[in-house]
Every structure is written in C-alpha cells, then in structure tokens.
Amino acid sequence: MPTQTLTGQASLVTPSRRRFFIMVLLFITVVINYLDRSNLSIAAPALTSELGIDPVHVGLIFSAFGWTYAAMQIPGGWLVDRVPPRILYSVALLLWSLATVLLGFAASFIALFVLRMAVGALEAPAYPINSRVVTTWFPERERATAIGFYTSGQFVGLAFLTPVLAWLQHEFGWHMVFVATGAAGIIWAAIWYAVYREPRDFKGANDAEIDLIREGGGLVDIQAQTAKASFSWTDLGIVLSKRKLWGIYLGQFCLNSTLWFFLTWFPTYLVKYRGMDFIKSGLLASLPFLAAFVGVLCSGFFSDLLIRRGCSVGFARKLPIIGGLLISTSIIGANFVESTPLVIAFLALAFFGNGLASITWSLVSTLAPARLLGLTGGVFNFIGNLSAIATPIVIGFLARGDSFAPAITYIAVLALIGALSYVLLVGKVERIEL
C-alpha cells in the first residue's frame, strides 16, 4: 500500500520545463552563428575600399566560408557523435569567435581569405550539435517547435541586428564589426560551458520531465549509448545508402539554394536589375527576412500542433516542408511584374515559404539511426550547404546578360525539385534501424 501511494504521488508530479530554457540557449547560439556568417557582407564595402581589394578577390573571400563549411560537415558530424555538446559547442564557439575577432585585424586578401575559411570550418559542427541537443531534450511532439524557434535565430540576426552592426561600422569602423561579433561569441562560449548539461545532469530537470522526454521519443540517454569508436567508412556508407536520407539531403540542397540567393545576389538583383537606389533597396531587403522569420515560427508551431491533434509524425513534418517549398516556387512571379511592391511581395512570399519549410532538421532527428545522429546530420548539412558554393556561381553564370529572369527561374525550379524529393523519396517517416 505505501508503495502504491508513492507511485501515485510520483505520477502527479508536474514535469519541469528546463527543456524550454535549452531552446533559448540554442536560439542565442544560432543568432551569434549567423551574425558571424553575415558580418563580412556588412563590412565589405568599407573594408575593400580601405585595403584596395578588387571585386574578383572579394568574391573569393565571400566563397571561402562555404568551401570549408561544407567540407567539414562530415568530420564535424562524426565529432558530434563522440564529444558531448557541452564541450564540443564551447570549443567550436570559442575558436570560430577568435577567428572572427582576428578578421578585424586582417590587413590583406590572404589574411581575410584564410580567416574566413577558418570560421567556416569551425562553424561546421554547429547545426549537427543543435540537432543532437534537440533530439536529446525534446519529445517528438515538441521537436519541430524547438527547431523552428532556434532556426528563427538566423533571420533575427539578419533582419534585426544587421542595422546594429551597420551602426557600429559607421561609428567605429569596419574592424569593430568583427571584434564585436567575435567577442559576443567568446562570452557565449563560456556561458554555454557553464550552463549546458544533458537532461539527467541538468539542475532543476525533474524525473517527470525526463520521463516525458523519453516516453515521447527523446533520446535522453544517447551519450551513454554512443560508442567511442574510430571513424568507420561502413557507417558513412550506411548514411549514404538510404533512399529516405537522400530525400532529405536533396531537399536540403534545394531549400538552401533559396536562402543563399537571398544571402548573396538579392541586393544586387534589386539594385542592378530592378534599378532601385541603394537606400531604398536596403530598406526593402529586410522584408523577405522578416517574412522568413514569421514562416519559421509558424512552421514549428503548426507541425507540432498537427502531432498533438493526432496526425502522424510523417504528415505533420512533411506538410509544412513540402508546402513551404511549393510556396517558394512563387519567386518566379517576380519575372512577370514591373512594380517594385509586387516584386518585393513575390520575393517575400517565396522566402516565407523557405522559412515555413525550414524544420527539415526535425526529420534528421527522426529518421537518422540513433548512434549515427551526428554523422547523418553532417552529411545532411554537407550536401545542403553545397548550395552555398553552387548558387552564387550558377546565378552569376545565368545573370551574365541584361536579364535576371533565368536565375529566378533556376531558384523556382530547385524549390519544386525539393518538394518532389520529400514526396517521392522520403516515404514513411520512421527511424532507420541498424
């Protein structure tokens, strides 16, 4: 009888909510991550003028991040499976932030190029770590909300904090853009190490919350289950041989292609091909990022709502992803209008769709073999971020003439291919068992 009473009392304990604090930690980390990706675009005009760097070499500096970021995804994912997030994220944050600070003291093309390559390489484990943390801390029915929330951090940085960096440059020079963003990362690395713990070790996370996570599909004991084996080509072969995984790999490449259009060619498209003045285009350029921010928040909330209403995980995850990619094809409408407000409307709608589809990491955490979460995430991010290299080059080739229409069509077609990859290749959403 006493045992039954204790059991009954335990079942009435309200689960703590420390996992939502973890969500906030990830959000702030992503904001810093994307500020360190975009700070060069803000500093570039003043920097290149002062150092006398020509446009060809500026393009090479911009590409440096993408080459190493993509190349290091698989090694970074392998590390995620073996090094606890508390340690790996702290070290990666510290090192890429130091490289960012050093960019503020660079005085040549070579120094800028090498340091941007370093930032790209050191940021590589970030999103696989995010996926690993969310898979550990959140039950399936809350996972898309968590991913949507922290992913929105990338658009917060681009839409809301870019003006702050522009002000820093105006007041203190381009050097301070790198010093400030790098210093923020160094401070945050120390905070992450001091605060982050796994669910069972996190102060204030009670047994009821841990049970809620575990019973809902969260892998709360993943670190204890992870083998410390050396790299295995067999494991890489596994994550490269599954049709379901290729569905999300291809889909991510297509999804990121729209993102990298906005991160690279979008301002040039407005100014050079639409004839907008610099100040006006600067104001309008924030609208698609705001639309994407709204799309990301809607995506996670809507997906988890569908699960709570009894829909299958596959339907709840794939509906906003496929729907968002189809909405992104609306970018082609910009080829058929002349009005500036209509052009921006089509672009904002397309980027809203991109944000709506951005919970793709929820399928990585759901489909990946449990012991290969990091490696799967690394391959997923590697293939997805090949778009950081391909998109600027392909668009540059397509836009060599007086018309940008072929480039816009290219982005629309890729969005459609991405939607089809989720429909035709992913199939039933369930974890791949080894």
Q: Please provide the DSSP assignment of 36-75 as one string.
A: HHHHHHHHHHHHHHHHT--HHHHHHHHHHHHHHHHHTHHH
CA atoms within 13 A on the CB side of 247: 22
Confidence class for position 127, pLDDT limits 50, 70, 90:
confident
Q: Running DSSP on this structure, what letter comes out for residue 159? A: I
pLDDT of residue 337: 92
Confidence class for position 353, pLDDT limits 50, 70, 90:
very high
Residues in the chain: 434
User: What's the chain's average pLDDT?
Assistant: 84
Q: Rounded distance, CA 377 to CA 132, Å?
A: 9
170 and 203 in a common domain: yes
| C-beta atoms surrounding 268 within 10 Å | 15
Enumerate the H helices of 52-173 as residue ranges. 55-71, 73-80, 85-103, 109-123, 126-137, 140-156, 162-172
pLDDT of residue 101: 95
| Token pair in block for residue 104 | 């503020």
Task: State which of 164, 199, 220 marks the end of a domain.
Answer: 220
- 293-339 per-position pLDDT tens digit: 889 888 878 888 888 888 888 888 899 999 999 999 999 999 999 88
Unique residue bearing structure tokens 């975009």:
38
351 and 202 in a common domain: no
Confidence class for position 10, pLDDT limits 50, 70, 90:
very low
Does the residue 203 lie in any domain?
A: yes
Task: State which of 161, 188, 220 marks the end of a domain.
Answer: 220
168 and 37 in a common domain: yes
Decide if pLDDT at 1 tops 50. no
pLDDT of residue 100: 95
192 and 304 in a common domain: no
Domain containing residue 172: 18-220
pLDDT of residue 56: 64
Q: Where is pLDDT greater, at 386 or 275?
A: 386
Q: Rounded distance, CA 205 to CA 210, Å?
A: 7
Does the residue 93 lie in any domain?
A: yes
Q: How far is CA 357 from the centre of its chain?
A: 12
168 and 24 in a common domain: yes
Q: Rounded distance, CA 33 to CA 35, Å?
A: 6
Does the residue 433 lie in any domain?
A: no
Does the residue 12 lie in any domain?
A: no
Amino acid (1-letter code) at residue 243: R
Confidence class for position 193, pLDDT limits 50, 70, 90:
very high
pLDDT of residue 12: 67
Confidence class for position 215, pLDDT limits 50, 70, 90:
confident
Angle between helices 18-51 and 243-264 (to 10 degrees): 50
Does the residue 4 lie in any domain?
A: no
Confidence class for position 255, pLDDT limits 50, 70, 90:
very high
pLDDT of residue 134: 86
Q: Running DSSP on this structure, what letter comes out for residue 108? A: S
**Spatial contact of 242 and 381, defined as CB atoms under 8 Å apart:** no
247 and 215 in a common domain: no
Burial state string for 88-127 with b = 16 or more CB within 10 A and e = fewer than 16: bbbbbbbbbbbbbbbbbebeebeebbebbbbbbbbbbbbb
287 and 188 in a common domain: no
Angle between helices 73-80 and 126-137 (to 10 degrees): 30
265 and 171 in a common domain: no
> Mean pLDDT throughout 36-52?
79
365 and 300 in a common domain: yes
Does the residue 226 lie in any domain?
A: no
CA end-to-end span of the chain: 43
For the chain, what is the domain count? 2
**pLDDT > 90 in the chain, percent:** 31
Does the residue 10 lie in any domain?
A: no
Q: Rounded distance, CA 224 to CA 236, Å?
A: 22
Confidence class for position 411, pLDDT limits 50, 70, 90:
very high
Does the residue 82 lie in any domain?
A: yes
Confidence class for position 230, pLDDT limits 50, 70, 90:
low
Least confident of 5-14, 104-113, 266-275: 5-14
pLDDT of residue 5: 47
pLDDT of residue 121: 92
| Strongest mean pLDDT among 66-70, 131-135, 186-190, 216-220 | 186-190
Q: What is the CATH number of the domain that holds 422?
A: 1.20.1250.20
Using alpha carbons only, give the angle 26, 32, 37 rounded to the nearest 5 degrees.
125
Confidence class for position 281, pLDDT limits 50, 70, 90:
low
238 and 361 in a common domain: yes
Task: State which of 177, 193, 220 marks the end of a domain.
Answer: 220
236 and 215 in a common domain: no
> Mean pLDDT throughout 281-289?
72
Least confident of 33-37, 253-257, 419-423: 33-37
350 and 423 in a common domain: yes
Q: Where is pLDDT greater, at 270 or 334?
A: 334
Decide if pLDDT at 166 tops 80. no
